[in-house]
Structure 1
Amino acid sequence: MRAAVLTAFGSPLTVGEVPDVEAGGGEVVVEVLATCVFPYAGEVFGGKRNYPLEPPVVPGAGCVGRIARIGRDATKLRAGDLVLCDLTVRARDDAHTPDITLQGWSSRGEGGLRLSRQWHDGSFAEFTRLPTENVYPLPASAAEDPARWATLGVYAIPYGGLLAGGLAAGETLLISGATGNLGGRAVAVGLAMGAGRVVAPGRNRAVLDRLADRFGPRVCPVGLTGEEDADRAAMSAAAGGPVDVVLDLLPPGAPSAVTRVAAMTVREYGRVVLMGGVGMLGGDDFALPYPWIMRNSITVRGQWMYPRTANTGIIRLAGSGTLDLGAERITRFGLDEVNEAVGHAAAHAGPFTSTVLMPAGTGRGSR
C-alpha cells in the first residue's frame, strides 16, 4: 500500500510503498477515505512542538473510511461499513487510569509511548490499522462527502471539554480562544448542545463578526484589548448574567493571563475546563487565586481529548442536523500532495476551514 512517511523531523513527508497492514484479534483495517490535516501539523513534523513521535512513522490523526478487514471477535461491524476512526487509543490493561496514545500523532508519558509502538502508524495512508473499539459506524449519508464528516474528529475535541464541564441546555458558556480552529467549532458544538448563550472573546474582529453572522444573537462576541480588568468586565457584560461554564482552548503561544481572565468570569459554583496548550512552550504559570476558587466553590478541571462516548454523541449531533457540517470550507488533497496539504493547513487555520487528505483519491479541490 502507499503512505506518507515522516522519516525524520524537519524533513518533508515521503510518499511511497510500505508494507500492507493486517487485522489481528481486536483489530480492524480501514481504507482511508478522508483525514484532516491539522493547522499545526507542520510544527509537529518540523519538531517545533517536540511531540513524542518516533520516525519513521506514518502520521495522521483519525479518519473516515471503510472497513476492509476485521478481526474475528467483532460481532456487529462488517467489511464495507463506513466508520469514523478515533485516534485516541487507550491501553486495555487498566480501565481506571489507562495509558493513552494519539495514533500517528502523540502520546502521554512512558506508558503512552510504549502503547504508540504497538499502534504506531496513523491515517496518511491508503489503509490504517486500529483497535476494534476505535471505529464508530456513520450514517449512510456520510458516504456522499467523507471529507466533511472527517471534520467530526476535530469537533469531538471541544465536545469532550463541554461534556467534562457538564454543559446543560440553557446555560451560558464562554469559549476562551473562540476565534481559533478548535474554539470556533466549540461555539458550534455548544449551541448544538443547547447553550442559551455563548460568549466568544478574541482579538480577530473579522472572525468574531463571522461567528455572530452565522449563529445569530445566541453568540455574543467580545473584542479583547489585553487590559485584564477591561476584558473581564466586557466578557461579563456580554454574558448578560452568570457564566456557567468556561472552556479554554487557547494555543500554546497564548499568554496565561488571557486564560486566567476568562476563567475568572465564571459564576459561584461554576465550572472551568482547560483543554488548550497554554504553558506548553514556556511562559508565565497559569495561576488562579486560591481564595477565589475556594470561596466561590469553583470546579477547575483539565481534559485531554474526550471519552469514547463522545464519538457516538458527536455523530448523533451531526446526523440529526443539530450540528451543521455544511458550513465547513474544505480543501481536498490527494496523497501525493501531502506536503502541499500541510502548508495549506498552516496558512488556512481559521474556524470552519479544513484541509483534508484523501488517500483514495487524486487531485485538489475546494468546496
Structure 2
Amino acid sequence: MKAWQFSPGETPPLALVEQARPVARRGAVVVRMRAVPLLSYLGDYVRGSLARHYQYPEQPFVIGTNGVGVVEAVGEGVHHYKPGQAVLVHPYVMSTENVDDPVEVLSGLTGTGPQSTGLLNDWPDGSLSEFAAVPATVPVSLEGLTHIAWERLASLGKFIVPFGGLRRGRLAAGETVIVNGASGYFGAAAVLLALAMGAERVVATARDVSALQTLAAMDKRVRPVALGGSIEHDTAALREATDGGAHMAFDMVGRACDANSTLSALGALRRRGRLVLMGSMSVPLPLDYGQMLINQWEVIGHFMYSAEDSRRLIRLVRAGLLDLEAVRLQQYALEELPQAMDAAARMRGLDCTVVKLNG
C-alpha cells in the first residue's frame, strides 16, 4: 500500500512510500481509507516548527489523524465490526486498563507525556495511507450515512473535537453560549454544533469580521461580536449580545499570545456559568479569585472527546440536525499531500481540506 511516512530529523522528513498492509492483530480493525481531513497546522508539524510541543513514536510512522473508510478486516476478539462496514476513525487512543489515570495518545500525531511512550509505540500510525490499523475501541459506525460522499463524511473530523468540549460543558437546549475563536477551523464548527444542540443564541466572537458575518448569515440565532482587544469593552459587548450574560463560553482560540479574549468571554458569563478551555495559549490565564467566588463560575479544561461523544455526533447528522453541506471542501489526491497541506494552512471558518483515497 501507499502511505505518507514521517521520519522526524531526516531529510526530507516526509515521503510517500510503499509498505506492507497492516495486519488485523487481536483487538484491532483494518480500515481501507476513503477520505482524510487535514489539520490546518500539519505543514508546520511536518517542517518541525512545532516539534517542542509534540512527542513522536520511536520509529518512522504514518501521519494523519481522522478519516473515514470501510472495514477491511478484523482481528480476534473483535465482536461488533465486520468487513464492509463504513466507519469513522479518529486518533484518540486510550489504554483500556482499569486504572485511575489511563494513558492516552493521538496516533499519527503525538503522545501526551513520558508515560504514554509505550502506547504510542503500540499505535504509532495515523490515517494518511491506503489502509490503517486501529484499536477496535476507535471506529464509529456510519450506519445511515452511507448516502453521503466520503469526502463530506471526512469533515466529521472538524466537528468531533469541539463537540467533545460542548458536551463536557453541558450545553443544553435553550441556553446561550459564547464561542470564542469562531472564525477558526474548530471554532466555526462549534457554532454549527451549538445550533444543532438547540442553543437559543450563539454569540460568535473573533477579530475576523467577514468570517463572523458568514456564520451570522446561516441562522438568526447567531450574533457576531468582533473583538477589539480591550477586556472591558469586549466584555461589555458580549454581555449586550447575550442579553446580560451567557450560560456557557467555549474557548477555541488557537495559539493565543494574550488572554484578553478568553477573559472577556469569562466576564460575560452569568452567575454559575461555565467556561470550557480547548484552545491553546502561550501565556498564563490570570483569574480573579474574588470574581470567580462571587459569580460561582466554573472553568473546565478539556482534551479531545469521549467514545460516546463520537457516537452522538453521528446521531446528530443522521437526525438531520447537523448539516455537513455547510462545510466548504477542497479535495486532493493522496499523492498531492504537500499541496493539500499548503491549502489546509489557509483554512478559515467552515473550510475543510480533504485527501481522497482508493477511488
Deviations 1:276-328 (A, max 9, x none): 0112xxxx311111111122111111000011101100000011110010121
Deviation at 1:224, TM superposition (A): 0.9
What do residues 322-357 of structure 1 show as CA deviations (whole Å, max 9, x unaligned)?
A: 00101211111111111111111112x112211111
Which residue of structure 2 lines up, in the alignment, with residue 228 of structure 1?
231
Out of 268, 272, 277, the residue aligned to residue 271 of structure 2 is 268
**Which position in structure 2 is the counterpart of 1:358?**
356
Distance change >3 Å, CA 241–CA 32, structure 1 → 2? same
Aligned partner of 1:87 in structure 2 is: 91
Distance in structure 1 (CA, Å) of the matches to 2:64 and 2:222 = 33
Aligned pairs (5 A) from 1:179-328? 179-215=183-219, 217-279=220-282, 284-328=283-327
TM-score (ref. length: structure 2): 0.95
Structure 1 residues without counterparts, runs of 5 or longer: 362-367
Q: Is the 8 A contact 1:257 1:286 kept in 2?
A: no
Distance, in Å, in 2 between the alignment partners of 1:351 and 1:317 is 20
**Counterpart check, 1:64 vs 2:68:** yes
SS at match of 2:218: helix
Alignment partners' CA distance in 1, 2:248 and 2:12: 42
Corresponding position of 2:35: 34
Letter of the aligned partner of 2:150 in structure 1? P
TM-score under structure 1 length normalisation: 0.93
Label 1:77 to 1:28 Cα distance change in 2 as closer, same or farther (>3 A).
Answer: same
Tell me the distance in 2 between the aligned counterparts of 1:251 and 1:313: 25
Deviates more, 1:62-71 or 1:290-299: 290-299
Distance (Å, rounded) in 2 between the aligned partners of 1:43 and 1:305 = 21
Are 2:77 and 1:73 equivalent residues in the alignment? yes
CA positional deviation for 1:188: 0.3
Contact 1:13–1:338, Cα closer than 8 Å, also in 2: no
Letter in structure 2 aligned against 1:328: V
Secondary structure at the aligned position of 1:134 is classed as: coil
> SS at 1:184's partner residue?
helix
Task: Please name the residue that 2:3 is paired with.
Answer: 3
- The runs of 5 or more residues in structure 2 that have no matched partner are none
Note the alpha carbon deviations across 1:190-248, whole angstroms, 9 max, x for none.
01001100111111110011011112x20010011112211110011011133100110
* Distance in 2 separating the partners of 1:320 and 1:342: 32
Count of residue pairs brought into register by the alignment: 355
Taking only the aligned residue pairs, the percentage that are identical comes to 33
The 3-state SS of whatever aligns with 1:48 is: coil
Q: CA deviation at 1:143?
A: 5.0
Matched position secondary structure for 1:231: helix
Q: State the superposition RMSD in angstroms.
A: 1.4
CA shift, 1:140, in A, is: 4.2
Who is 2:23 aligned against?
Answer: 22
Superposed displacement of residue 12, structure 1? 5.5
User: Pick from 145, 150, 169: which aligns with 2:149?
Assistant: 145
Instruction: Name which of structure 1's ranges 69-78 and 156-165 shifts more when overlaid on structure 2.
Output: 69-78
The one-character-per-residue Cα deviations of 1:162-207 (angstroms, maximum 9, x if unpaired) are 1111111000000111111110000000010011001111111100
